[in-house]
């Protein structure tokens, strides 16, 4: 074959590919498009991932499937826990595909990247996941809402409730990176308010397998409470080893961040008696139970608070689009802020000017295997922390959008 | 040493060949200039940045025979330096990129001097260990923002005039940077310096016996490669407006080696093709979830067992065979 011929063929092939590429820009008359950007295969796929996509589908279905006279479209993407891939997908969604709202956003680096992007492009991002309080402090956005929980609500909720009961001496075992330190700092701030003190702490690297030295130090410290600030495999390994050392017998174990799927993974034998905070529990009341059973039929596991959050955020967003009669981000955000969030998960939720959605948080004690009556029957809801107390006070927020 | 296995010949063999080669170059240049109007520019810029990164690795792996598993530390290190200079210190985009490159070059020289004291698998292990050390430094340092990374880096005005917020303008800038980097690599390979590197790769004792200071050449190649990796990492910061731990992590070092191997190690265009294949897979197959890693693995197995020279290496070999040279 002549080289020129080859060149021509290559050129034709390139043109063929090029003409197949999408070129049309999205306009205001296109259907409402919702993007679920999540971790489909990595460490967060259990708590968000495909379950979050399903939850958003359920929200669209429950809303009636269409708004502004057109069916609502859902797209999903796997950010693979890489901020650049997440940012690339979101950019393409905004620039080319005409996505109007992005939700889920597990992984703090991805959430921060997408929120910055959405702010520039006047698109809405509803973060139903991720701990980082940065999203509603320095990096806050007029179009971004942190929906379900943050490090402050989880750790301060648990620490405050347990300290109020009179536990004075605390020991922290934390993962040695921003996530763990952030949980620990927030808990300590609350402890100071109740006159409780930290008598010791030890840290471990990410993906640790042996926690015996941390646990033995904690056991010997004479602390009333051992607070654990890590997640995923680290959390479940630590809890299993703590059960072997019989730590829960004389000292109280609290998990500053845990999901119902974590408890499922580590087993009630290892988790029983420990205290934690969640935004949602599937068996809290008849409504949440009914919805969760629908979810269970599709996914084979009970929903986490992240997945419930994706559902709630999507529903509230669609209602606001309908009420505003437009997809315009400013109008929709205004409607979302004006309307309190009352759905099957949260009563009297409110979006603050720094982007925090305040709502009641649940203080939870994990059941023992004897108390558990059915599969996934893991929690006793022992208290409700009202929304005004559960989140970082507006006066402490570093968000530049707050008018002072 | 007239023929380097797997490498494109430095000079075309005949005049008719020279014409068609020129045609190809013109076609490629035209395609690159028109690309942002057809494809999504951000995606193209990502491919370009990784093409440059893979070129840097290829320079070391394909021509000097040194397999580094720690190149993410220059890529990501420069990214952090550039992001910090741009966002926290408010430097201009071009100055921030140069700061990133300078960091990688110096850092590459120091770590290079340390790792070239060993060869083969030990060299790879030393670079891997250094890369991991650097990763944990970045995880802990307050300047890098831990796992949140440095976010919302402003793109700003290039040379005080060109607005990089425009994706197409930024694309041409990234294209120019990548072109410059690849040209630098091409010149280095097709120079006496590159010939000596190949000689060292083929037979190190002989190169020593010929009077070459082998360690010096290796260190220089390592530094050049680190600087180019840094150029790629710093440029990527402007594209995505963020620097994160992904850029310095060990899987990133592995991914870029994968790109080089799939595209064709020891060929000039191989890294570009490899980067295009792997990056577009990551983007267009983002919905398949964990299967992506399986598909990447299968492609790697197919490459090493069916066409070991990589995509470009294989095509180049076919063309040469067809020509009967």
Secondary structure in 3-state letters for chain A = CCHHHHHHHHHHHHHHHHHHCCCCCCCCCCCCEEEEEECCCCCCCCCCHHHHHHHHHHHHHHHCCEECCEECEEEEEECCCCHHHHHHHHHHHHHHHCCCEEEECCCHHHHHHHHHHHHHHCCEEEECCCCCHHHHCCCCCCCEEECCCCHHHHHHHHHHHHHHCCCCEEEEEEECCHHHHHHHHHHHHHHHHCCCEEEEEEEECCCCCCCHHHHHHHHHCCCCEEEEECCHHHHHHHHHHHHHCCHHHCCEEEECCCCHHHHHHHCHHHHCCCEEEECCCCCCCHHHHHHHHHHHHHHCCCCCHHHHHHHHHHHHHHHHHHHHCCCCHHHHHHHHHHCCECCCCCCCEEECCCCEEECCEEEEEECCCCCCCCCCCCEEEEEEECHHHHCCCHHHCCCCCCCC
The beta-carbon neighbor of B43 closest among A10, A23, A92 is A92
| B52 Cβ under 8 Å from any chain A Cβ | no
**Which residues does chain A have within 8 Å of residue B148's beta carbon, measured at their own beta carbons?**
108-109, 112, 132, 134, 178
Q: Which helix (H) or strand (E) holds B216?
A: helix B214-240
Are residues A92 and B40, on separate chains, in Cβ contact within 8 Å?
yes
Can you give the pLDDT of all 325 residues of chain B as single tens digits?
344 444 444 444 444 555 677 788 888 888 888 888 888 888 889 999 999 999 999 999 888 888 889 999 999 999 999 999 998 898 899 999 999 999 999 999 999 999 888 888 898 999 999 999 999 899 888 888 887 888 888 888 888 778 888 888 899 999 999 999 999 999 998 999 999 988 988 888 898 898 888 888 999 999 999 999 999 999 999 998 889 888 898 888 988 999 999 988 888 888 999 999 888 888 777 666 667 778 888 888 888 888 888 888 888 888 888 776 5
Fold match flag (A33-149+285-359 vs A152-278+361-390): yes
Are residues A81 and B241, on separate chains, in Cβ contact within 8 Å?
no
Residues 291-330 of A with CB under 8 A from B: none
Q: Which of A51, A84, A141 to mutate to test the interface with B (most CBs of B within 10 A)?
A: A84
Q: A78 to chain B: nearest residue by CA?
A: B286
Inter-chain Cβ pairs, chain A and chain B, closer than 8 A: 122
| B89 Cβ under 8 Å from any chain A Cβ | no
Q: The complex's ipTM?
A: 0.72
| B22 Cβ under 8 Å from any chain A Cβ | no
Q: Where are the domains of chain A?
A: 33-149+285-359, 152-278+361-390
Q: What is the pTM of this model?
A: 0.81
Q: What are phi and psi of A148, to 5 degrees?
A: -100, -50
Q: B37 to chain A: nearest residue by CA?
A: A23
The beta-carbon neighbor of B287 closest among A77, A92, A96 is A77
C-alpha count within 13 angstroms, C-beta hemisphere, residue A341: 27
Are residues B149 and A18, on separate chains, in Cβ contact within 8 Å?
no
The beta-carbon neighbor of A178 closest among B27, B38, B148 is B148
- Span A144-192, pLDDT tens digits: 999 999 999 998 888 988 888 888 899 999 998 888 888 998 899 889 8
**Which residues does chain A have within 8 Å of residue B147's beta carbon, measured at their own beta carbons?**
108-109, 177-179
| A112 Cβ under 8 Å from any chain B Cβ | yes
Residues 359-378 of A with CB under 8 A from B: none
In the 8-state DSSP scheme, what is residue B163?
A: E
Q: In CATH, what is the architecture of A152-278+361-390?
A: 3-Layer(aba) Sandwich (3.40)
| A254 Cβ under 8 Å from any chain B Cβ | no
Nearest to B72, CA basis, from B223, B244, B248, B232: B248
Going from the C-alpha of B176 to that of each of A136, B184, B315, the distances in angstroms are: 38, 12, 26
Residues 258-287 of B with CB under 8 A from A: 282-283, 286-287
**Superfamily of domain A33-149+285-359 in the CATH hierarchy:** Response regulator (3.40.50.2300)
A306: left (phi over 0), alpha (psi -120 to 50) or beta: alpha
């Amino acid at each position: 074959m002549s080289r020129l011929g080859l060149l021509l063929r290559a050129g034709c092939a390139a043109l063929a590919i090029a003409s197949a590429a999408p070129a049309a820009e999205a306009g205001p008359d296109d259907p409402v498009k919702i993007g679920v950007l999540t971790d489909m295969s990595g460490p967060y796929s259990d708590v968000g991932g495909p379950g979050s996509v399903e939850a958003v589908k359920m929200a669209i279905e429950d809303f009636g499937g269409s708004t502004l006279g057109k069916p609502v479209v859902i797209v999903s993407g796997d950010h693979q826990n890489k901020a650049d891939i997440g940012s690339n997908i979101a950019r393409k969604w905004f620039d080319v595909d005409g996505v109007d709202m992005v939700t889920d956003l597990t992984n703090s680096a991805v959430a921060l990247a997408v929120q910055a992007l959405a702010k520039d492009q006047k698109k809405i991002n509803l973060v139903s996941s991720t701990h980082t309080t940065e999203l509603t402090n320095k990096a806050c956005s007029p179009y971004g809402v942190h929906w379900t929980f943050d490090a402050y609500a989880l750790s301060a909720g648990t620490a405050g409730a347990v300290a109020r009961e009179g536990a004075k001496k605390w020991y922290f075992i934390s993962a040695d990176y921003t996530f763990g330190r952030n949980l620990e700092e927030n808990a300590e701030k609350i402890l100071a308010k109740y006159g409780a003190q930290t008598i010791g702490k030890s840290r471990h690297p990410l993906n640790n397998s042996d926690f015996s030295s941390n646990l033995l130090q904690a056991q010997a410290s004479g602390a009333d409470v051992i607070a654990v600030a890590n997640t995923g495999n680290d959390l479940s390994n630590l809890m299993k080893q703590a059960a072997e050392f019989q730590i829960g017998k004389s000292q109280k174990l609290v998990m500053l961040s845990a999901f119902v799927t974590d408890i499922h993974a580590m087993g009630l034998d290892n988790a029983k008696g420990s205290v934690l905070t969640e935004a949602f529990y599937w068996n809290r009341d008849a409504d949440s139970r009914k919805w969760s059973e629908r979810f269970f039929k599709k996914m084979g596991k009970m929903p986490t608070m992240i997945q419930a959050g994706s559902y709630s955020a999507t529903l509230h967003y669609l209602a606001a689009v309908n009420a505003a009669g437009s997809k315009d981000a400013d109008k929709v955000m205004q409607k979302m802020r004006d309307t309190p969030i009352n759905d099957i998960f949260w009563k009297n939720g409110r979006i603050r000017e720094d982007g925090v959605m305040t709502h009641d948080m649940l203080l939870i004690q994990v059941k023992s295997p004897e108390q558990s009556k059915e599969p996934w029957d893991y929690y006793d809801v022992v208290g409700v922390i009202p929304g005004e107390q559960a989140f970082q006070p507006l006066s402490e927020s570093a968000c530049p959008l707050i008018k002072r | 040493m007239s023929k380097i296995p797997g490498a494109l010949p430095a000079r075309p063999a005949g005049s008719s060949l020279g014409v068609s080669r020129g045609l190809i170059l013109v076609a490629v240049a035209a395609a690159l200039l028109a690309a942002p109007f057809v494809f999504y520019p951000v995606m193209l810029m990502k491919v370009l940045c990784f093409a440059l990164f893979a070129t840097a690795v290829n320079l070391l792996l394909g021509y000097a025979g040194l397999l580094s598993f720690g190149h993410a530390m220059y890529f990501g290190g420069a990214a952090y330096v550039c992001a910090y200079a741009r966002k926290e210190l408010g430097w201009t985009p071009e100055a921030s990129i140069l700061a990133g490159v300078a960091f990688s070059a110096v850092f590459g020289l120091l770590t290079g001097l340390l790792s070239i004291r060993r060869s083969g698998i030990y060299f790879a292990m030393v670079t891997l260990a250094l890369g991991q050390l650097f990763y944990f430094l970045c995880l802990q340092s307050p300047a890098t923002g831990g796992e949140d990374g440095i976010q919302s880096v402003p793109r700003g005005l290039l040379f005080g005039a060109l607005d990089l917020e425009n994706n197409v303008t930024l694309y041409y800038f990234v294209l120019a940077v990548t072109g410059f980097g690849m040209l630098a690599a091409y010149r280095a390979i097709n120079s006496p310096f590159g010939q000596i590197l190949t000689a060292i790769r083929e037979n190190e004792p002989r190169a020593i016996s010929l009077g070459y200071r082998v360690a010096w050449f290796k260190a220089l190649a390592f530094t050049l490669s680190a600087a180019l990796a840094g150029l790629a990492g710093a440029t990527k910061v402007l594209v995505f407006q963020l620097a994160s731990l992904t850029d310095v992590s060990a899987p990133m070092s592995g991914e870029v080696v994968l790109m080089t191997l799939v595209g064709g190690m020891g060929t000039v265009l191989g890294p570009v093709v490899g980067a295009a294949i792997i990056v577009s897979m990551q983007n267009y197959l983002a919905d398949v979830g964990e299967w992506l890693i399986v598909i990447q693995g299968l492609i790697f197995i197919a490459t090493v067992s069916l066409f070991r020279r990589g995509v470009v290496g294989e095509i180049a070999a076919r063309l040469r065979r067809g020509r009967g040279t």
